[in-house]
Amino acid sequence: MSEYDSNGYKFSRPARHVKALNVGPIPQRIFDGMSKYNDTARGMSILPSLANKRPLTTLCDTGFAIKGFEISRDNARGSIIVAHRPDDAQVSQIYRIPSDPSSTELERLTYFDIGSGRLIQSFTPILGEDWRKAWRAGGAVMVMDLTGNENFQLWRYWEDADSEVTFPRIEDELDNRPGKGRFERLTHDDYSYHSVIVSLSNRLLVFASTKENGKDTLVYATTLINSDTGARADSNPFLLPSRVIAPKMEDLKGMSYWIPESISVDDKHVALTMYHGHSYRPLYIVDITATDGKAPELVTLPDVTERAEETSYSSATFSRDPTQAHVLYLITNAFGDFASVVAYDTLARTVVNITTPEPPDLRPLRQIPWETGGLLVTPAALFFYANVEGWQTLYALPLSGAGSLAPEVLEVRMRDWEGSPVAYAANVRNDRPNELVVHFNSFRMNGFLASIDFTHVFEDGAEPERDEFGNFFVSVAPRPYRQATPSPPRFKVHPPKLLKFKSFDGLEVPCMYYHPEGGKTAVPVVIQIHGGPASQSTAETRVFIHGYLLNELGCAVIYPNVRGSTGYGKRYCAMDDVFKREDSVNDIGALLDHIDQNMKGELIASRVAVMGGSYGGYMVYASLVHFSPKLTCGLANFGIAHWPSFLERTADRRRDQRRQEYGDERDADVRAFLERISPLNNAERIAVPLSIAHGEEDSRVPVGEALRLWDIANKKVYMELMVCELEGHGFIQKSVIEFTNAAKIHFLERFLLPNSSVSSNL
């Protein structure tokens, strides 16, 4: 991916899969001190779906007959699939826990190490398939890469005990011993596969892939039942057949990037979005029963107020009610600045606004003047959240049963929940239609799961309460899963506080702010800048060394949401596009001024470090270029150092989307601007120490970005560089995470805290 590689550099090898330049020995006390923080970070999580960022539970119906094969009640496990990295594993593994929260059972399903399995992006349960003639019941279709380059492949997970026959060992099957589950590779190439969805009937499987040409991401469908693939129950490799349902758009300037969103309950239609970039994502519907190869049809909602090229549609999900198969629920900012929940009748072509806050004549069910997300559609209700300044408020809209007779959008208030972001999945397939499985991640504890039962609301017709503003809410008590609740942290936890400051042009910029002493004493501060840039630091956001920074080093941590961040409306998100790129960098300059002028009693303005990854890594480089006199040091992970080369060498499948955000380097004026602002071309202005870590297999920001900056800046300032093997855009290996974190702490001890008791004992 880059003209630069790591050959020819005299690296040391301080840890497994870590190559280092200028990184000296790290005191053992740092590794020992980090152990309790590492343990807390290894919580349980529901496996995510790459397509829609929503988690999935196992598909375990209590009885289902198809194609003559009966899945008996005896084989129905009633379970939930979770991810967790045990202390003795390099990467996260898959576990199965019973859907009964009181159970103490915990079953490990995978035994992967680097080289046989790396990053599992999704684990989509199915009732079974007959791809090899015989019926393989249960299991899942998994999306996983092997090296970190994000060329994700499709795999079939199954257990012989649930299947009609015991299959012989298949060529390319992964070694999962001592696990009883088996993994067969379904795709055998270097393209990328993702966004797997399965119809409720278990007849169709839909996915996105670049297999057409390595650049365009198209959508494909295959059948699970009566598949007639020609394969047999033998040891020969199997190539999953499929047909294109969303082809390359020939009239599109640039590459097609389709994302499948939902399959209708009657298996007739698929909702898709075309991802041009964060700000422009139109919605389409394709009739998959048509035999004439009809192209997807663009959806145009009536009475929208926003320009099409500034509108995004996401989380489009068909109704789970067979009598309402034509109704589509989705999130869009087509009616204003904020992303809101709406319902669209595809036959009548009418819209019901559910949360749209503007204009008022749209008469929404409940005006919510914040960004919404996390839309989940079940037969019983809609669930979604509002992002209120980085904290979440959960909502439910009953769709059936007694609770739907007078439909109201209900705020869901959970006991002992401070509003940190949550992920959730419906437990419908385990015969629990009114239950959510919720993943909590807060400043108190990382990664624990709980069950929330809404039966009293949706079925029993319990009367909701009203708050002081007349809005309806329901109170629920999450029931923790015993096997997915880690021990409480063995260190002090600190709640976040909302900090706001005025930037150079008067724009108010919000931040999440943590102080080890509640702001009572002046301490050094680390500014951690998120990537994206279309992302947000929320009440959940913490870097791996967050707790160590606060408790052991006595540093404050600020997570700014500079312009370009999500969560504050699409206009705020677009304020850093193309020629406005350095306006976001100047937000950091304004934060430094705010610390110096307005926070003297709680922060030491002469002791400020800046950290970030990906786009946040660029922000670190740019901040050091512009504000070195105000900073003590910087730490960057897989950051962009040179805009034109990044855009030319990032993975083909994502290049056009990045050009919409950052600018098209093929345009002479844009290229001249990008050259001018690239940190690589201004490296001589970096005047403080810099630590860099970068994945060797990174296909988004190739490692050459780090190596080229090293070659230039290392001649003037103190630098450390870690190149991480079998890592891509983000680190997942135990050895890599623990070493790079310890190296960062050691770096900060020496350069951010030179007069501290810690550094004086080095």
Percent of the chain with pLDDT over 90: 62
Please tell me whether residues 231 and 285 are part of one structural domain: no
Q: Is residue 472's pLDDT more than 70? A: yes
What pLDDT score does 142 carry?
93
Q: Are residues 389 and 464 in the same domain?
A: yes
Q: Answer yes or no: is pLDDT of 67 > 70.
A: no
Q: What is the pLDDT of residue 762?
A: 40
What number is the average pLDDT over the span 91-95? 89
Residue where one domain finishes, among candidates 340, 374, 408: 374
Same domain, 246 and 174: yes
Tokens 């769709």 belong to residue:
399
Reported confidence tier of residue 440, pLDDT bands at 50, 70, 90: confident
In terms of Cβ atoms closer than 10 Å to its own Cβ (0-12, 13-18, 19+), residue 361 is exposed
Report if residue 202 sits inside a domain.
Answer: yes
Helix-strand-coil split of the chain, %, nearest 5: 20, 30, 50
Residue 375: predicted pLDDT: 96
Average pLDDT, the chain: 88
More confident of the two residues 758 and 27 = 27
Residues 613 and 632 in one domain: yes
Query: Do 47 and 35 belong to one domain?
Result: no
Same domain, 564 and 662: yes
Final residue of a structural domain among 457, 485, 513: 485
pLDDT at 290 over 90: no
Which pair of structure tokens corresponds to residue 543?
């870097």
Instruction: Give the residue-averaged pLDDT of 563-570.
Output: 95
Report the alpha-carbon distance of residue 601 to residue 616 in Å, rounded. Answer: 28
Segment 48-55 shows an average pLDDT of: 28
Residue 117 has pLDDT above 70, yes or no: no
Task: Order the strands of the 603-613 sheet from edge to edge.
Answer: 12-15, 18-21, 719-724, 690-695, 633-637, 603-613, 523-529, 556-560, 508-514, 497-502
pLDDT of residue 756: 54
Give the CATH number, domain containing residue 669: 3.40.50.1820
Q: Does the residue 26 lie in any domain?
A: yes
Assess whether 341 and 387 both reside in one domain: no
Return the pLDDT at 56: 30
Domain range for 558: 12-42+488-756
- Label residue 427 by pLDDT band (50, 70, 90): confident
CA 437 to chain centre: 18
What is the CA angle 473-475-476, rounded to 5? 135
Q: Worst-scoring range by mean pLDDT, 243-252, 493-502, 678-687?
A: 243-252
Out of 344, 374, 404, pick the residue that ends a domain: 374
Q: Could you give the number of structural domains in the chain? A: 4
> Could you read off the pLDDT of 513-533 as tens digits, one per residue?
999 999 899 999 999 999 999
Q: Which has more pLDDT, 446 or 353?
A: 353
Residue 596 is assigned to a structural domain of this protein? yes
**pLDDT, average across residues 696-702:** 91
Residues 215 and 124 in one domain: yes
Residues 715, 566: one domain? Answer: yes
Per-residue pLDDT, 66: 33
pLDDT of 65 strictly over 50: no
pLDDT value at residue 707: 95
pLDDT of amino acid 393: 94
338 lies in a domain?
A: yes
From the DSSP assignment, how many helices (H) and strands (E) are in the chain? Answer: 12, 44
Residues 701 and 724 both lie in one domain: yes
Q: Of the spans 73-77, 98-102, 673-677, which averages the highest pLDDT?
A: 673-677
pLDDT class of 2 with cuts at 50, 70, 90:
very low
Using the predicted structure, report yes or no on whether residue 221 has a pLDDT greater than 60: yes
Q: Is residue 4 part of a domain?
A: no
Judge if 226 and 312 occupy the same domain.
Answer: no
Query: Do 414 and 384 belong to one domain?
Result: yes
Average pLDDT of the residues in 660-670:
93
Q: In the chain, what is the straight-line distance between the N-terminal and C-terminal CA atoms, in Å?
A: 40
Asked if the model's pLDDT at residue 715 lies above 60, the reply is yes
Q: Is residue 261 part of a domain?
A: no
675: in domain? yes
Q: Is residue 182 in some structural domain?
A: yes
